[in-house]
Structures are given as C-alpha cells and as structure tokens.
Amino acid sequence: MEIKLDQAAALLARTPAVLSELLRDMPEGWLDCREAPGTFSPMDVLGHLIYGEQLDWLPRMRIILEQGESRPFDPFDRVGFRSLIEGKRVEELLKTFETLRNDSLQAMSALNLQPAMLGRAGTHPALGTVTLGQLIAAWVVHDLGHLAQIERVMARQYRDAVGPWRAYLPILDVSHANS
C-alpha cells in the first residue's frame, strides 16, 4: 500500500488514546514488567515514544525539506528517554505524549505537504538515502510495533499461568527481538 498523507496522519493521531486505554490505571507491577533484562517495559516504551516526538520524526522531516540529502539526520538514541520517565507517573507521561503528538501533527499539517513531495530524499546516518514518504510510513509502523510490544510484554507475564493453552497463544513465544 502506498501511503496517503491524510490516512497516515489519522493513524498517528489515534496512538495517544490507544496507549492511554492500555496503560492508565494499570495494576501494580504491570508497567515495569519486561521480557528480559535490557528490554523495554511498557513505561520504557512510553518514554521512547515521547523522546521520538521530541527528537526524531518532525526534526528529520524538517531536515529533509530544508537541507535534503546534504545534512544527515542526527542519530537517535533509542534509550535516551531514561531521565524523562524517572519518578514520573504513567498518567503524566501519557498526557505529555498526547500533547507532543498533537503538536507534531499540527506542525506536519503546517508544512502543507503534497503527494509529490513524498519522494524528497534525506540521509539516515545508518540506513543511507531515505525519502519523506518512507519516514512518514516508518513513523506509523513504529507506533504500531510499540503498541504490539506493550501487549506482548504484558501477555508474557501470564506465560506460565495459562498452562496448556500456551500452545494456542503464539504471542507468548514470539522472540523479544521482534518489537
């Protein structure tokens, strides 16, 4: 499927509400659970998404539009969010993400992007040449991947509790590399 700007924006706009329904008032212990040491907990995912709103998606879009391929994107630190979430309650972080995402979408709307601009190229520091359309598609998929990751990390808490049903619940055996 080719991306359509209005559809991509509509998908990006719903992520804060999905996250909020998934995570607010979560029973104790579920926000900090993880699949293995060093992997993301639900709170980590939320921090990572907030940090991406600040430093990843919109800033890179602006670099493509203003400087093209000549100026590579700054590398994004996928664990740069640690200090952002320290001591914060989940409700506060959900609100922060919602605000930042709305800001991003308003900023994207103000860029008045046209379909013909989706082929504009930029330089990813590791992946090389990428286009504006690929960046927007990756933003959508990145959201969906991390929502699925949260659900997988939560499900994993009951891996033993389901007993023989494990055979019918493949989410319990997806590798945690697959976020």
Binding region for its own copies (CB under 8 A): 1-4, 6-7, 10-11, 14, 17-18, 20-22, 25, 27, 29-30, 33, 124, 127-131, 133-135, 137-138, 140-142, 144-145, 147-148, 151-152, 154-155, 157-158, 160-165, 167-174, 177-179
Greatest Cα pair distance in the chain: 56
Beta bridge partners of 130: 122
| For its own copies, the closer CB: 33 or 84 | 33
What are the CA-CA distances from residue 6 to residues 12, 69, 82, 137 (Å)? 10, 25, 33, 12
Q: CB of residue 49 vs its own copies: minimum separation in angstroms?
A: 14
- Chain centroid, CA 27 distance in Å: 23
Q: CB of residue 112 vs its own copies: minimum separation in angstroms?
A: 20
Q: CB of residue 149 vs its own copies: minimum separation in angstroms?
A: 8
User: Apex CA 38: angle with CA 36 and CA 43, to 5°?
Assistant: 90
Q: CB of residue 135 vs its own copies: minimum separation in angstroms?
A: 8
Task: Give the Cα separation of 139 and 60 in Å (integer).
Answer: 11
Q: CB of residue 89 vs its own copies: minimum separation in angstroms?
A: 17
| For its own copies, the closer CB: 96 or 179 | 179
| For its own copies, the closer CB: 44 or 87 | 44
User: Which among 156, 147, 146 is positioned nearest to 35, based on CA atoms?
Assistant: 156
Beta bridge partners of 129: 123
| For its own copies, the closer CB: 58 or 86 | 58
Q: Residue 113 corresponds to which tokens in the numbers above?
A: 């992007």
| For its own copies, the closer CB: 4 or 89 | 4
